[in-house]
Amino acid sequence: MLIEWQIASVEDWHADAIIFFVFEKADAPLAGFRRYLEGKGSWLSGSAALKDFQAKPNEMAVCYAPSEEKAIPRVILVGLGPADRFESDKLKNAAAHALRKCRELNVARPAIAMTAFEGLPLESPAALRESLFGAVAGLHKFNELKTRNSEAESAPETLFLLSESEPDNPMAEAVNIAESESGGVMLARDLTVSPSNRATPAFLAETARQLAQKYSFKIEVIDLDSAVSMGMGAFAAVARGSREPAFIIIIEHAPPGTENDPPLVFIGKGITFDSGGISLKSPDKLDAMKQDMAGAASVLGAFEAIGRIGLKRRVVGILPCTENMPDGKAYKPGDVLKSFSGQTIEVISTDAEGRVVLCDAIAYAAAKYSPAAIIDIATLTGACIIALGNQVAAVLGNNEELMDSVKQAGWDLGEKFWPLPLWDFYFEALKSEVADMKNVGDRSAGAIIGGIFLKQFVPREVAWVHLDIAGTAWTDKDSGATPRGATGFGVRTLFEIARRWPESQAWGIIE
């Protein structure tokens, strides 16, 4: 779907439908819609469809103009719920529902008027960004593996942005941002929903290469032999259990002049299928474990967005990618691994493989880049789902300020993060008789224990946060801008963190 400005006076606007947002139980319509009702849309006041319309969240009314009205024959009203419970999610989801309705009705060229945002408790550029994101992301479907296209519906061709004057910079930029981040989210979703026989580590490497080509990123793909010779004994132990070639993918965006800046480093868990390994999982819903590379997918998605917008900051992505399988060479419970950091790990469960691959990536990032900050993102623990459910991800780390900026950026964009503590006494659970640490404790505080394990690999002076997206990477129900399946959760937050990254380029060290 193309997004196109249409600059003209209201009388000259043309589209197949115009979308307006409405608050529930409001005394009067929002200002922009009210003016439309008083002018060009005066035919609407008698419209029967309006009588039943209550403007509950995502409720819609499609109103058809009398036949003389040729320029804009339909008005689609979509509910935002009550004004006092408004948050940006409501607008994003309302836009998603309106655009899906357009797809259903074969409306080829719908439009949103910039005046439609007047009176919302959100700045217009933010409102435009949310509604465009919702419009595009809500239409997204992964159809690549379907050969019978019986349900093929065509998405609208062009979404017009109606305005009476040229958009100012923040409005023009909002379009750019929304297109960039929705591109990133759709890439992450497509990769995550892809089965493990498609989205292999090699496929992720190829995807990263294509991004590098498109946006002039640097790229390096480390294979298993090189990882072994570099001393990444933890990553290698997991990778050896699979016949599918494993890779550590390193992608770098360093626009001219930033090459020597301390980079922001994103690390994404890239387990393309998690069988549990020798500590084999039960067969129930095992197919869901194709999603265990959602962290790596969000990092690639964030890079798509960063490249597309041409961010002027240095950002590095590190993606340890492998399957976790029970092959003859698979690592086994009781094995002791030597990690890149030099610390040794006693494997208790081969199903706690995420932390085992991430610890080498984290230690490598710290040693190689002197990063401004490290953010890792991973479908790490089932315990995180028990703690926070499917709509909230966990944020853990060693730096309060960085954790707060993740929480805030996520909140602003409808990706919710909530903190869990990482006090050092939690490490008790990981004490080992034979090595520096075990890879799992008992069942208590599982999401925290995953974090405390990773913390052992972060030098004190490096600001670091760990994002556990085990609950949020996937959804079984359609909801607004997030159709069922892979969500692409984390892409927008990573992208936003990179955009808001303080000019000082470092977060204060708290501990």
The catalytic site residues sit at 281, 355
Q: Is 353 near ligand BES (CB under 6 A)? A: yes
Q: Is 130 near ligand BES (CB under 6 A)? A: no
Q: Cβ distance 195 to 240 under 8 Å?
A: no
Q: Cβ distance 271 to 322 under 8 Å?
A: yes
Q: Which of residues 258-277 bind ligand BES (CB under 6 A)?
A: 274
Closer residue to Zn ion, CB minimum distance, 21 or 453: 453
Q: Is 292 near Zn ion (CB under 5 A)? A: yes
Q: Cβ distance 374 to 265 under 8 Å?
A: yes
Q: How far is the CB of 507 from ligand BES (least distance, A)?
A: 28
Q: Is the dihedral of CA 229, 235, 241, 246 positive or negative?
A: negative
Q: Which of residues 19-78 bind ligand BES (CB under 6 A)?
A: none
Q: What residue type is 457 in one-letter code?
A: F
Q: Which residue has the tokens 């992505």?
A: 317
Judged by CB under 6 A, the stretch of 75-83, 147-155, 310-318, 380-388 that binds ligand BES is 380-388
Q: Is 201 near ligand BES (CB under 6 A)? A: no
Q: Which residues of 2-25 are buried (b: 16+ CB within 10 A; e: fewer)?
A: ebeebeeebeebebbbbbbbbbbe
Please give the structure tokens belonging to residue 13: 């606007």
Q: Is 274 near Mn ion (CB under 5 A)? A: yes
The only residue of 138, 184, 301, 354 in contact with Zn ion, by rule CB under 5 A: 354
Closer residue to Mn ion, CB minimum distance, 311 or 440: 440
Q: Give the per-residue contact string, 253-282, with Zn ion (x = CB under 5 A; - = no).
A: ------------------x--x--------
446 makes contact, choosing from ligand BES, Zn ion, Mn ion, none, with CB < 5 to 8 Å by partner type, with: ligand BES
The only residue of 381, 398, 482, 493 in contact with ligand BES, by rule CB under 6 A: 381
Q: What is the enclosing helix (H) or strand (E) of 429? A: none
Q: Is 349 near ligand BES (CB under 6 A)? A: yes
Q: What phi, psi does 260 have (nearest 5°)?
A: -105, 5
Closer residue to Mn ion, CB minimum distance, 353 or 412: 353
Q: Which residue has the tokens 């409720």?
A: 59
List strands edge to edge, sheet with 437-438. 336-338, 344-346, 437-438
Q: Cβ distance 82 to 54 under 8 Å?
A: no
DSSP assignment letter at 88: H
496 makes contact, choosing from Mn ion, ligand BES, Zn ion, none, with CB < 5 to 8 Å by partner type, with: none
The residues binding ligand BES (CB under 6 A) are 274, 292, 349, 351-354, 379, 381-383, 440, 446, 470
